[in-house]
Amino acid sequence: MTQDKGLAYVSDAISQAQLRLYKTYAKAPRRTALVIAFSLLKALVVLGWLVTRQKAGVFSFAPAQASQFEAQLKPNTSAALPTLHAQSSSGLRDLFVQSKAAAHSLPEAVDLYVQRAKYIQNELLWRDTAGNVIQAHGGSILYYNDIYYFYGENKGGRTLQPGTGKPPSIVHRVDVIGISCYSSTDLINWKNEGLALPAGQHPDLDPSKVVERPRVLYNDATQRFVMWMHIDTADYELASCGMATSASPTGPFTYMRSFRPHRHMCRDFTIFKDDDGTALIAYSSERNKVMHVSRLTRDFTDVELGFARTMVGLSREAPAMFKHGDIYLMVTSGCTGWLANRAEVFYARDPLGNWESLGNPCVSRSVMLRETTFHSQASHVLPIPGQPGRFIFMADRWFPQALGMSRYIWLPMWVVDIPQGEEDFPSRKVVRPEDRARMRQRFRSMRPGPASLKDLPPIDVVVRWQQRWNLSALDAPPPLCKDMRPGTLVPDSECAL
């Protein structure tokens, strides 16, 4: 038995044991200790395997040199690409390993891009229509005149290690190149429109600075495109929002200024255009301990007086705001740097009111995938035009040692309407919202709140893993948990609760 097959056998056996324990959890809560023990055992097995493989030279986490990295990004090189795969068979979807058999030279990858041009392909390097690696990290999408515009950070340069660079950085970073723009009519084939906002036109855009998470809205009144972004120094102490405008969605954008909204820190943020044409901004503030929400001015270039402090003390970042009916929703992540963590959705009936938790939107049979947002961090939620309740969950799988090689993870997401009234759930009758709230606390890690216990909205936000998919996958939403066979509702149930 080879080393890889041995690992698969052991990991599969542990996964099956975990599944059996989860199915009996409702009847025997004391088995929680055994579940934790098995999870730790599995983590040790995987860690030992990774260390062994690294020592054997199969793969390395060492930082790439500038010349090697730049060569990897050129379409005419023969260097092999590291490819990570989520193994879907035998319960190993939570184990991400490098596969030599699946690694392709870049010319082959360009040919494969043509073959997979009908699908969103997760975990592989994405290429534009010219065959070059797409550089739009921490990105967002603007839908305008039937065209999708994809904006993101260009990280095509050398990744600087912590403590290097001038001034020294406290985290892995790439010198600012600019904000890239790509266009598409199908969300799959992307044309490179160049740098919508290049580095250098303002001191805030100096290569030594930090420019992250660009967001673009179209203002109907001024007929201008307005871009917001996180502007910072290498030590992340500037903590400001930057703003630029353009007459065209592809730019060039003219940089205006950076500032702290209401004189408070602004790091990870999102902007959202409401149904009435007004706009909102939500940003991590007070050293990421509190989320601030405010309205933008009529021209989208500043914030109005007054703001709401919410998610106090929860340390949430990477917000992505969207809406379903009259309910405002926001996907967030924890503050763990480049490391993935569990996503959490919050809801509010008034965006300037209190936001309360709906729990983890990710459903999977793998604990690791649920707890790490499929090994990624949310960047944006894109509503599908004309299809209420259907969205694309956009995220980044960061590779800190080579940020330009980080992957885009785009997954189908639904906001499922839960029928009102008495529902026959597998284990009990759910009549009151507080009963459903307690089930969400148990199965979706929902934080209890004063409103959620009595006024839980009749919806569920669900993100489901798909390795390769297109928009037709959204035609198959997850089933309602109440329709499952009695006794089968467990934490890994892929259903709407």
Q: How far apart are CA 87 and CA 463, in angstroms?
A: 18
pLDDT, tens digit, for every residue of 124-147? 999 999 999 999 999 999 999 999
Any domain includes 109: no
Any domain includes 426: yes
In this structure, the answer to whether residues 44 and 170 fall within a common structural domain is no
In this structure, the answer to whether residues 362 and 449 fall within a common structural domain is yes
How high is the pLDDT of residue 267?
Answer: 96
How high is the pLDDT of residue 259?
Answer: 97
Any domain includes 110: no
Q: How far apart are CA 211 and CA 232, in angstroms?
A: 7
In this structure, the answer to whether residues 279 and 310 fall within a common structural domain is yes
pLDDT, tens digit, for every residue of 26-56? 455 666 676 677 677 777 776 776 665 555 4
How high is the pLDDT of residue 438?
Answer: 78
Residue 150 structure tokens: 């994809």
What are the counts of helices (DSSP H) followed by strands (DSSP E) for the chain? Answer: 6, 29
How high is the pLDDT of residue 15?
Answer: 53
CATH number of domain containing 322: 2.115.10.20
∠376-138-295 over CA atoms, to 5°?
115
In this structure, the answer to whether residues 284 and 418 fall within a common structural domain is yes
Any domain includes 104: no
Any domain includes 491: no
In this structure, the answer to whether residues 125 and 55 fall within a common structural domain is no
At 409, which amino acid appears? I
Considering the entire predicted model, what is its pTM? 0.79
Any domain includes 113: no
In this structure, the answer to whether residues 332 and 395 fall within a common structural domain is yes
Question: How would you write the pLDDT of the chain (497 residues) with one tens digit per residue?
Answer: 444 444 444 455 555 555 555 555 545 566 667 667 767 777 777 677 666 555 544 444 443 344 344 444 544 333 333 333 333 333 333 333 333 333 333 444 444 444 446 899 999 999 999 999 999 999 999 999 999 999 999 999 999 999 988 888 899 999 999 999 999 999 999 999 999 999 999 999 999 999 999 999 999 999 999 999 999 999 999 999 999 999 999 999 999 999 999 999 999 999 999 999 999 999 999 999 999 999 999 999 999 999 999 999 999 999 999 999 999 999 999 999 999 999 999 999 999 999 999 999 999 988 899 999 999 999 999 999 999 999 999 999 999 999 999 999 999 999 999 887 655 455 444 446 677 787 888 888 888 877 666 778 889 999 999 999 999 999 999 988 877 665 566 666 788 88
- Total count of domains within the chain: 2
Could you write out the DSSP letters of every residue in 155-174?
Answer: --SPEEPTT-TTTTPSS-EE
In this structure, the answer to whether residues 86 and 125 fall within a common structural domain is no
In this structure, the answer to whether residues 469 and 415 fall within a common structural domain is yes
In this structure, the answer to whether residues 89 and 183 fall within a common structural domain is no
The neighbour count for residue 104, using CB atoms within 10 Å, is 15
In this structure, the answer to whether residues 85 and 206 fall within a common structural domain is no
In this structure, the answer to whether residues 55 and 150 fall within a common structural domain is no
Residue 9: give the domain boundaries.
3-98
At 207, which amino acid appears? P
In this structure, the answer to whether residues 76 and 125 fall within a common structural domain is no
